[in-house]
Structure 1
Amino acid sequence: MSKKYILAVDGGSQSSKIVIFDLEGNIVCEEKENLRPVNLPSPGVVEHPDDDLWDSIAVASKKTLAKFNGDVKDIMAVGLCTIRFCRALLKKDGSLYSPVMSWMDQRVSRVHEQVSDDIAYVTTSSGYITHRFTGNFNDTAANYQGVWPMDTDTWQWYEDDKKIAEYNLTRDMLFHLQMPGTILGYVTKEASEATGIPEGLPVVATSNDKAVEALGAGCTGEKTALISLGTYIAAMAQGHDNPKNTVNFWSNFASVPNQYLYESNGIRRGMWTVSWFKNVLGDSYADKAKSMGMSAEELLSKEAEKVPVGSDGLMTVLDFLAPADQPFKKGTMIGFDGRHTRAHMYRSILEGIAMTMKSRVDEMCEELDVKLDNIIISGGGSNSDLFMQIFSDVFGIPSSRNVVNGSAAVGSAICAAVAVGAYKTFDEAVAHMVHMRDTFQPNLQNTEKYARMNAVYRDITKCTDDLLKRSYEIFS
């Protein structure tokens, strides 16, 4: 019997990635296409230019299939995962009325504004891309986060049309909702010509990108949390209930039907801060690293490994992107003395991320009345042994990473595999397709030091906020 494959679409904030997996979760080939810079035509407006979300998927698909050495007839399905919190306004024929609103666009935090009669549908990024692939007006129910007329208990639109009208919408403007792991439609001839993906392949519903990532990382137990290292860093844990009016976390739809993903408060410019610091060092540092046969991040990690736990008292506060209700917030580094080098600064950023997330996770787990046994770390930052050990030491429990750290693609493939019957259940698919790479055990001496340090770290902003408010009046 010939080998079978799944094609996974992983549409992120920076790029669109296409990955072909076998049914054991091994990557056969992959390619990506970077997204174009967002348009910022006016304050609060952040848009993906032209038809960039679809165009980038089309380019990445063709590049991936050009590398694929198997028989395209053995590709069983397409799993579709896209960015959450986006909003797409479509004309009656399903084409874009205007560019897709980014999750950073202030309009997505408000009810829809019907600025033209030409707007026939209002949907998510996944709804729009589903239509481009299949011609259908179907979407996963699990990508409707934010301001939508959604009953989160039933995973469906409100039954009362008056409640839908409160969002400036009518029922016929909304897509038909389906559960993760179901077939949304089939690749059309037009979509096949644009992407190279075979016509007639089933296109499968997943969830929002964070929930798909959690599934692909194997974060399915109630005592395991996933920390997703991306531009936005958050922690997630799965559960069966849909709690309301929570304080320290919010309930998101999981990628497993009728389950929920509890998501902590996070860091708005998390791994961005790591990239920022690397870029501050300039081309000469990157050239030095290259001459030594490594990347700038690898050289920084190598240098930071020699720095004592706690970075000799240097602490970094990660408010590099202020929330809308606290515009005075700024990133800070505090505690400099003559011992400190770039390696101390780099390690303090990593420690700041880990300590911030420890506080956020503790708050969530206390409200849930859950005690974690271990954490899974996903994203490119998990490639750093130093970062993995810092997480384990700060949390005081084992930290694990998987063979495939871009786990949204794996989660997308899992949903598709279940939909076409390659596996009977999500648990069975996870067991076959998610593979742990290694686990880091905590050094309890370091854990005790980080606990003492974090008690100070948590109070820094209490002392600096008043100063930053005063400086904001000068520099805003």
Structure 2
Amino acid sequence: MSPSAANGVNGASAAQANKSSMPQFIGAIDQGTTSSRFLIFDEAGNVVSSKNIEFSQYYPQPGWHEHDPIEIVSSVEQCIDGAVESFLGQGHDLSSLKAVGITNQRETTVVWDKITGEPLYNAIVWTDTRSADLARSLKQRLGSKEVSDICGLPISTYPSVSKLLWLLENVEKVQEARRQGRLVFGTVDTWLVYKLNGGTERNVFVSDPTNASRTMFMNLEKLQYDDRLRDFFRLEDLELPKIVRSSDLKAYGSLAGTKLKGTRITGCLGDQSAAMVGQKAFYPGLAKNTYGTGCFLLYNVGEKPVMSTHGLLATVAFDFGDEPGQRMYALEGSIAVAGSSVKFLVNRLGLAGKSSEISALAETVEDNGGCVFVTAFSGLFAPYWIDDARGTVFGVTAYTEKGHIARATLEATCFQTRAILDAMKKDSGKALTELAVDGGMCNSDLTMQTQADIIGIPVSRPAMRETTALGAAIAAGLAIGVWKTFDDLKGINSEGKTMFTPRIKEETRQYRYGRWQKAVEMSKGWLGEATTKL
């Protein structure tokens, strides 16, 4: 509206003022490794409604981890309808929910038929290690050393490309779809946007840079697919989603179904970048650590990527536009197993009835009783990148009891976080003075105190810990003007923080960390020739 039009009609001006005073809400799809959620936030960043659904986990063989792509979509749709029903029950108007953002598990790989829109195989989850032999072969290929310099990721089982190559080598339906030009590949964000828009009906086929950067196809600096990478992986013919900004008014389309049919999708961020945005780490030098299924520490390095020489990943923090400060990069330390180790103690070993009881079990003992648990269920990720490590408990004696195992399990994530922080200091030349945390495991005071003790700096935990979903809501809200600048977000989720400060002596800290490093060295090599089935 022009200034003259705004001032020309008193009635129109009054109507505009009344409209701007109406409450506005943003929805956030949070599609994680073990559950899908939909949360509705108000302009102050408060959760006013939410719905969570856990979905099936498939482990066909040791080291394999799969999801049903159709169940992923249906769980999201059920969550949307459940949260909206509660939202309406509170007396809110559906028209006040202005847009939806998406955050998702990142490297998990989906392939589908672009003619029918149906998946060709289960989604291969980011934790899956079936491509270990393939990754080792790729490392021997000419040009492998230059790959990480372009995309910021090391060749391993972690990125999407190794999972895709496994599918192309082992699944006939995928091979046939490629021969017929029907094969489509995407990470979970692409799959969700495609299906939520109605699939083949609209054929919305996009990905944002925080997700596209996890495939090993994207040039990290240019935010475009790189022909050298496609040539290296021999996937020149593969159809890839268009890379669009993390916050965009039109690129992600709108919901074709659910009770929010017609609502625009205006933001998308991979889960760890979303948590970074939710923690408001918009500026260089700020960092966050998310303790979810895995654990991911991201450090904002500014407007140019920093390629790690100490075992970390270079990634996109967020891409909100071309203006200064609107596109940021991060160094990332990725830990494959965090909250999933707690679920392991519950679901596989039966040490407690539910995950929330593990911290209490750990508090029944004063320390780990000499136990160190290297939770390398999927190998060790950053900063080690040891594909052939496996979960190993050291120091077990007749004295060991359940509480010691529980405490050693919680400590494993804290030790790996310390290793990542050490690597980040070497890469960036700066040491953190405080660590912002979120995710399910940070609900445990014991774990957060242990974390502060092991890293030797304060740990800051927000009162509202749904920061991953909040980040997706912020991306969507920025696109439609609910928030216009980062300054508008200063007051969001800033009240009621808990600070955990170190309580142990430096020599104790170094001794405990030294034992962890020794255990890591001893956990190597479990997937060598000696483990071949006879």
Q: 1:207–1:253: 8 Å Cα contact kept in structure 2?
A: no
Q: What is the total number of aligned residue pairs between the two structures?
A: 454
Cα drift, residue 95 of structure 1: 1.1
Counterpart of 1:151? Answer: 219
Q: 1:213–1:407: 8 Å Cα contact kept in structure 2?
A: yes
Q: 1:227–1:378: 8 Å Cα contact kept in structure 2?
A: yes
Q: 2:281–2:287: 8 Å Cα contact kept in structure 1?
A: yes
Give the Cα–Cα distance (whole angstroms) in 2 for the partners of residues 378 and 82 of structure 1.
Answer: 16
Q: 1:88–1:96: 8 Å Cα contact kept in structure 2?
A: no
Please list the CA deviations of residues 377-412 of structure 1 after superposition, one character each: whole Å capped at 9, or x if unmatched.
211111111111111111111101122323210100
Cα drift, residue 417 of structure 1: 0.9
Match among 45, 48, 67 for residue 25 of structure 1 = 45
SS of alignment partner, residue 490 of structure 2: helix
Counterpart of 2:470? Answer: 410
Q: 1:377–1:401: 8 Å Cα contact kept in structure 2?
A: yes
Give the Cα–Cα distance (whole angstroms) in 2 for the partners of residues 137 and 203 of structure 1.
Answer: 13
Give the Cα–Cα distance (whole angstroms) in 2 for the partners of residues 222 and 416 of structure 1.
Answer: 22
Give the Cα–Cα distance (whole angstroms) in 2 for the partners of residues 51 and 368 of structure 1.
Answer: 42
Q: How does 1:219-298 map to 2 (within 5 A)?
A: 219-240=281-302, 241-244=304-307, 246-257=309-320, 258-266=327-335, 268-279=336-347, 282=350, 286=353, 297-298=356-357
Please list the CA deviations of residues 308-329 of structure 1 after superposition, one character each: whole Å capped at 9, or x if unmatched.
3x43433222223336996653
Give the Cα–Cα distance (whole angstroms) in 2 for the partners of residues 178 and 432 of structure 1.
Answer: 29
Give the Cα–Cα distance (whole angstroms) in 2 for the partners of residues 271 and 15 of structure 1.
Answer: 13
Instruction: Give 1:142's aligned amino acid.
Output: T
Cα drift, residue 255 of structure 1: 2.3
Q: 2:27–2:99: 8 Å Cα contact kept in structure 1?
A: yes
Q: 1:97–1:118: 8 Å Cα contact kept in structure 2?
A: no
Inter-CA distance 21–129: structure 2 relative to 1 (3 Å threshold): same
Question: Does residue 102 of the first structure (1) align with residue 125 of the second (2)?
Answer: yes
Please list the CA deviations of residues 73-127 of structure 1 after superposition, one character each: whole Å capped at 9, or x if unmatched.
0001010122211333344457135144433364933366464215254332212
Match among 495, 498, 502 for residue 439 of structure 1 = 498
SS of alignment partner, residue 318 of structure 2: coil
Q: 1:229–1:271: 8 Å Cα contact kept in structure 2?
A: yes
Inter-CA distance 93–280: structure 2 relative to 1 (3 Å threshold): closer
Match among 433, 458, 469 for residue 398 of structure 1 = 458
Give the Cα–Cα distance (whole angstroms) in 2 for the partners of residues 2 and 230 of structure 1.
Answer: 35
Question: Does residue 357 of the first structure (1) align with residue 417 of the second (2)?
Answer: yes
Q: 1:25–1:434: 8 Å Cα contact kept in structure 2?
A: yes
Give the Cα–Cα distance (whole angstroms) in 2 for the partners of residues 57 and 303 of structure 1.
Answer: 33
Inter-CA distance 154–304: structure 2 relative to 1 (3 Å threshold): same
Q: How does 1:70-85 map to 2 (within 5 A)?
A: 70-85=92-107
Counterpart of 2:266? Answer: 204
Q: 1:156–1:177: 8 Å Cα contact kept in structure 2?
A: yes
Give the Cα–Cα distance (whole angstroms) in 1 for the partners of residues 280 and 217 of structure 2.
Answer: 30
Counterpart of 1:331? Answer: 391
Question: Does residue 305 of the first structure (1) align with residue 374 of the second (2)?
Answer: no
Moved more, 411-420 or 60-69: 60-69
Moved more, 66-75 or 338-347: 338-347
Q: How does 1:4-83 map to 2 (within 5 A)?
A: 4-38=24-58, 40=60, 47-49=66-68, 51-68=70-87, 69=90, 70-83=92-105
Question: Does residue 173 of the first structure (1) align with residue 239 of the second (2)?
Answer: yes
Moved more, 390-399 or 239-248: 239-248
Counterpart of 1:387? Answer: 447
Q: 2:279–2:467: 8 Å Cα contact kept in structure 1?
A: yes
SS of alignment partner, residue 18 of structure 1: strand
Cα drift, residue 17 of structure 1: 0.6
Cα drift, residue 273 of structure 1: 1.7
Q: 2:57–2:66: 8 Å Cα contact kept in structure 1?
A: no
SS of alignment partner, residue 445 of structure 1: coil
Identity percentage of aligned residues = 20
Moved more, 10-19 or 236-245: 236-245
SS of alignment partner, residue 53 of structure 1: helix
SS of alignment partner, residue 255 of structure 1: strand
Instruction: Give 1:98's aligned amino acid.
Output: L
Length-normalised TM-score, structure 2:
0.76
Question: Does residue 452 of the first structure (1) align with residue 511 of the second (2)?
Answer: yes
Q: How does 1:68-147 map to 2 (within 5 A)?
A: 68=87, 69=90, 70-93=92-115, 95-99=117-121, 100-103=123-126, 104=128, 106=131, 108-110=160-162, 113=168, 115-116=176-177, 117-119=180-182, 121-134=184-197, 135=202, 136-147=204-215
Question: Does residue 342 of the first structure (1) align with residue 406 of the second (2)?
Answer: no
Cα drift, residue 170 of structure 1: 5.9
Instruction: Give 1:11's aligned amino acid.
Output: Q
Q: 2:435–2:457: 8 Å Cα contact kept in structure 1?
A: yes
Q: 2:361–2:406: 8 Å Cα contact kept in structure 1?
A: no
Inter-CA distance 279–469: structure 2 relative to 1 (3 Å threshold): closer
Q: 1:139–1:205: 8 Å Cα contact kept in structure 2?
A: no
RMSD: 3.2
Q: 2:453–2:509: 8 Å Cα contact kept in structure 1?
A: yes
Moved more, 117-126 or 164-173: 164-173
Cα drift, residue 265 of structure 1: 4.4
Q: 1:127–1:139: 8 Å Cα contact kept in structure 2?
A: yes
Q: 1:392–1:399: 8 Å Cα contact kept in structure 2?
A: yes
Give the Cα–Cα distance (whole angstroms) in 2 for the partners of residues 43 and 168 of structure 1.
Answer: 28
Unaligned runs of 5+ in 1: 287-294
Please list the CA deviations of residues 169-206 of structure 1 after superposition, one character each: whole Å capped at 9, or x if unmatched.
56893332211111224325xx22xx22131x221232
Moved more, 386-395 or 447-456: 447-456
Moved more, 415-424 or 401-410: 401-410
Give the Cα–Cα distance (whole angstroms) in 2 for the partners of residues 43 and 321 of structure 1.
Answer: 10
Give the Cα–Cα distance (whole angstroms) in 2 for the partners of residues 320 and 383 of structure 1.
Answer: 23
Q: 1:278–1:297: 8 Å Cα contact kept in structure 2?
A: no
Inter-CA distance 163–196: structure 2 relative to 1 (3 Å threshold): same
Counterpart of 1:3? Answer: 23
Cα drift, residue 337 of structure 1: 4.7
SS of alignment partner, residue 244 of structure 1: coil
Unaligned runs of 5+ in 2: 1-20, 135-159, 169-174, 321-326
Cα drift, residue 334 of structure 1: 2.7
